[in-house]
């Protein structure tokens, strides 16, 4: 029997769980890794092997002018095994990193199962294991464990569906076409209001109702829309329905005309820092290109940069700002860490990042070292900051994007150069953080 102080249990052998297990083994710990595969599989998992890519084989861009490119660079600095293996299994995809999914899962399966410090158990976990544990059971966490987590975390901290609206950057909005105030001037002018004329509104509704929608998986159709209707379905009910719903103009006067607009789309700040705005009431199931095309018909959004598109799908995630600390451990019990999509990040590389940081957080916890937060200048640190500081009400998962980073000092005018400035600042900050962690 192992000495318990050298053991960490990891539940879930997906992207986050495998990354976490590898990092813990590398740090000298014995890892008990549990996954219900291959005996039991979620509706999206098909392979018998660990670390399966469940959908698109693209891990997004490698370019440093993109947030996903910067996140990859940060993961490289932190020696991510998932990234390294993905790079070894890359297939031609221009500037993106796409993988041969079968080769990738087989390679990762071997790396994990052949590691002498990782002990794999094929078992569905129903209760939270005792001791130091990382739970990384993903967006399709099996029901028994989801119920256990729900009960353990209390009232509202676990969601089973992701129904989110698109998010755009503030700097891409056209100020000539919006005004800031709150409905009936109650509040501190937190909202950006995007007015539409009758003609613009009717054209928007027409395009919205005819736009292409995402086909849901069979396992998602039952109640994914329950309590959170997509804007296009609301619009199907009649041209006026949005004007009496999320696009109602009551209580709003446009200072340019001194009149109430015909219809208004409101945008709300997504989090305290960073210039990201959420399209209020616009949770949608349109395809991503259609979201861009249709919402860009709203004059203020003509050149909008979408940092996140709306999604409506089965997704289990905790209300991170309520329950999570910045090392991915639970406020309620710092021996329990939550990683991967379950922690409130969204995406393959983001899930990998959270598994990696949770493992490092666990190492610090085991060594009784204080956790040094990762700079918010990095995509990693900014995502963690979002998870721990976003509004608890209506919390929605987040992916890598530049909109969550603190503003630049001396920002370049040219958009591409500005993105490279963000990238340089992030990489420098991550290198510095890594060098300072002499215990790693």
Ligand X SMILES: Cc1cc2nc3c(=O)[nH]c(=O)nc-3n(C[C@H](O)[C@H](O)[C@H](O)COP(=O)(O)OP(=O)(O)OC[C@H]3O[C@@H](n4cnc5c(N)ncnc54)[C@H](O)[C@@H]3O)c2cc1C
Q: Which residues bind ligand X (CB under 6 A)?
A: 11-17, 34-37, 42, 44-45, 54-56, 124-125, 136-142, 145, 340-342, 347-348, 351
DSSP 114: T
Residue with the closest Cβ to ligand X?
Answer: 14
Q: Of the two residues 348 and 377, which places its CB atom closer to ligand X in the complex?
A: 348
Distance CA 24, CA 30 (A): 7
Q: Of the two residues 55 and 176, which places its CB atom closer to ligand X in the complex?
A: 55
Q: Of the two residues 7 and 125, which places its CB atom closer to ligand X in the complex?
A: 125
Q: Of the two residues 69 and 138, which places its CB atom closer to ligand X in the complex?
A: 138
Minimal distance in Å, beta carbon 177 to ligand X?
33
Q: Of the two residues 20 and 265, which places its CB atom closer to ligand X in the complex?
A: 20
Minimal distance in Å, beta carbon 277 to ligand X?
23
| H/E element, 418 | helix 415-436
Minimal distance in Å, beta carbon 219 to ligand X?
9
Minimal distance in Å, beta carbon 267 to ligand X?
25
CB within 8 Å of 244: residues ≥ 6 apart:
none
Please name which of 374, 377, 373 lies closest in space to residue 426, comparing C-alpha atoms. Answer: 377
Distance CA 181, CA 190 (A): 6
Question: How are the residues of the chain apportioned to helix, strand and coil, as percentages rounded to the nearest 5?
Answer: 40, 20, 45
Q: Of the two residues 99 and 252, which places its CB atom closer to ligand X in the complex?
A: 99
DSSP 391: -
Supply the DSSP string of 55-109, one letter for each residue: S-SEEEE--TTSHHHHHHHHHHHTT-HHHHHHHHTEE--TTEEEE-HHHHHHHHH
Q: Of the two residues 69 and 347, which places its CB atom closer to ligand X in the complex?
A: 347
Q: Of the two residues 42 and 378, which places its CB atom closer to ligand X in the complex?
A: 42
Q: Give 263's strand partners.
A: 196
Quick check: 329 and 364 in contact, CB under 8 A? Answer: no
Minimal distance in Å, beta carbon 369 to ligand X?
26
Q: Of the two residues 19 and 327, which places its CB atom closer to ligand X in the complex?
A: 19
Minimal distance in Å, beta carbon 434 to ligand X?
23
- What is the side-by-side strand order in the sheet with 263-269? 179-180, 191-196, 263-269, 276-279, 167-169, 306-308
Q: What is the dihedral of CA 132, 51, 123, 144, to 10 degrees?
A: 80
Number of H helices, E strands in the chain: 12, 16
Minimal distance in Å, beta carbon 102 to ligand X?
15
Minimal distance in Å, beta carbon 324 to ligand X?
14
Distance CA 258, CA 9 (A): 62
- What is the side-by-side strand order in the sheet with 58-61? 58-61, 96-99, 90-91
Minimal distance in Å, beta carbon 175 to ligand X?
33
């Amino acid at each position: 029997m192992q000495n318990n102080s050298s053991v960490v249990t990891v539940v879930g052998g997906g992207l986050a769980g495998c990354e976490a297990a590898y990092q813990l083994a590398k740090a000298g710990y014995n890892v008990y890794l549990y996954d219900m595969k291959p005996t039991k599989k979620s509706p999206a998992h098909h392979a018998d092997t660990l670390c399966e890519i469940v959908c698109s084989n693209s891990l997004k861009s490698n370019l440093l002018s993109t947030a996903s490119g910067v996140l990859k660079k940060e993961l490289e600095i932190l020696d991510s095994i998932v990234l390294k293996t993905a790079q070894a299994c890359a297939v031609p995809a221009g500037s993106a990193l796409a993988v041969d999914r079968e080769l990738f899962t087989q390679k990762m399966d071997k790396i994990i199962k052949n590691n002498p410090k990782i002990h794999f158990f094929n078992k569905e976990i129903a209760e939270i294991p005792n001791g130091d544990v990382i739970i990384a059971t993903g967006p399709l966490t099996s029901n028994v464990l989801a119920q256990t987590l729900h009960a353990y975390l209390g009232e509202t901290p676990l969601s089973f569906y992701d129904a989110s609206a698109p998010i755009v950057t503030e700097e891409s909005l056209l100020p000539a076409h919006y005004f800031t105030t709150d409905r009936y001037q109650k509040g501190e002018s937190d909202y950006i209001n995007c007015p539409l004329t009758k003609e613009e509104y009717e054209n928007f509704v027409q395009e919205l109702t005819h736009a292409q929608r995402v086909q849901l998986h069979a396992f998602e159709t039952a109640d994914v829309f329950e309590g959170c209707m997509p804007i296009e379905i609301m619009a199907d009910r009649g041209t006026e329905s949005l004007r009496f719903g999320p696009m109602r103009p009551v209580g709003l006067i446009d200072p340019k005309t001194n009149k109430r607009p015909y219809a208004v789309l409101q945008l709300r700040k997504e989090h305290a820092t960073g210039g990201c705005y959420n399209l209020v009431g616009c949770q949608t199931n349109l395809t991503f290109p259609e979201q861009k095309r249709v919402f860009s018909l709203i004059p203020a959004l003509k050149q909008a940069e979408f940092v996140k598109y709306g999604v409506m799908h089965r997704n289990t995630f905790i209300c991170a700002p309520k329950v999570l600390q910045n090392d991915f451990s639970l406020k309620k019990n710092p021996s329990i860490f939550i990683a991967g999509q379950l922690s409130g990040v969204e995406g393959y590389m983001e899930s990998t990042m959270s598994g990696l940081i949770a493992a490092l957080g666990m190492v610090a916890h085991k060594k009784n070292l204080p956790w040094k937060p990762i700079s918010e200048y990095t995509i990693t640190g900014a995502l963690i900051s979002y998870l721990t500081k976003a509004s608890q009400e209506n919390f929605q998962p987040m992916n890598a994007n530049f909109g969550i980073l603190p503003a630049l000092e001396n920002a370049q005018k040219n958009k591409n150069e500005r993105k490279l400035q963000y990238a340089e600042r992030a990489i420098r900050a991550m290198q510095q953080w890594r060098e300072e962690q002499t215990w790693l």
